[in-house]
Amino acid sequence: MEDPETVVESLRALPSAELHHLAEALRQVQLERALADDDHDAIIAQAFEAGFARDGLGVLPWVHGDLVVCPGGTVSTSRASHRCSFVSIDDVWVWESPLLVREDKRAACGTDNGFRAVALVALVDGTELDVVRGRARAGAHSVERVVSYEVRQGELAEVSQRDAAITGLR
């Protein structure tokens, strides 16, 4: 491959339409690599072992090869209330994301009702992730904490943490 500066110069010379086509092609290649990555069964099994905190909720996501591993789930405290933690990808829930490679869901262990889930998402530069922790009481759901990341150069870069209500997630 040419040196990065020469590649960037060549890209600057391309018309906008070709740049958009190239960006989509790069995204497609990153998705294809994620689909071909390692043994998804083994990654998910390891994530179910190490991806949940003492409170039963998912820990923060991490990178594994060409994938982002996203644990999530709910812990019910009664029929009308629960605590939960899920990931949104580019402003849609992980299970609705076009970058979702696979998601496995299991009933929660122990005396808590609820479930645990592990989602594998393609590691695509520019992707935005929000880890949303919330609580439902008497049918009303509220967000307690959001930790936001962006995929930059194949790594998760934390961009913010906030305690507040969030709107706009579909």
Instruction: Name residue, tokens 């070709």.
Output: 18
CB 85 within 8 A of CB 131: yes
Q: Amino acid identity, residue 103? A: E
What are 94's two structure tokens?
């992980």
What's the mean pLDDT in 79-87?
90
Tell me the per-residue pLDDT of 100-121, one tens digit each, with 9 for 90 and over: 999 999 987 665 688 999 999 9
**Domain ranges (residues) in the chain:** 34-162
What's the mean pLDDT in 122-129?
94
Q: Is the pLDDT assigned to residue 36 strictly greater than 70?
A: yes
Instruction: Name residue, tokens 């040196």.
Output: 3
CB 48 within 8 A of CB 99: no
The pTM score is: 0.83
Q: Which of 157, 143, 154, 164 is nearest to 60 (CA)?
A: 157
- Helices then strands, counting H and E runs in the chain, come out as 3, 9
